[in-house]
């Protein structure tokens, strides 16, 4: 399926990618807290909207 070289490359790429994302997030943590402070409300509203759509779909289909 995959050669040994491809698997080793994928593992190293994944580790490097996760490290870059982690350090980038740590660097911008204060900036994100200031600019995106109300984003959890938007996420909860979006999830609630999806749940309501699912319930309505189930209710109308029955």
| Domains of the chain: total | 1
Whole-structure pTM value: 0.51
pLDDT in tens, the chain (62 residues): 889 999 999 999 999 999 999 999 888 888 888 888 888 899 999 999 999 999 999 998 86
Dist. CA 49–CA 30, nearest whole Å:
30
Residue 56 domain boundaries: 4-61
14 vs 6, 7, 18, 23, 26, CA distance in Å? 12, 11, 6, 14, 18
């Amino acid at each position: 399926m995959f050669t040994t070289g491809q698997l080793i490359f994928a593992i190293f790429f994944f580790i490097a990618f996760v490290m870059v994302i982690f350090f980038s997030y740590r660097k911008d943590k204060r900036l994100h807290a200031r600019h995106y402070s109300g984003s959890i409300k938007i996420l909860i509203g979006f999830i609630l909207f999806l749940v309501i759509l699912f319930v309505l779909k189930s209710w109308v289909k029955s």
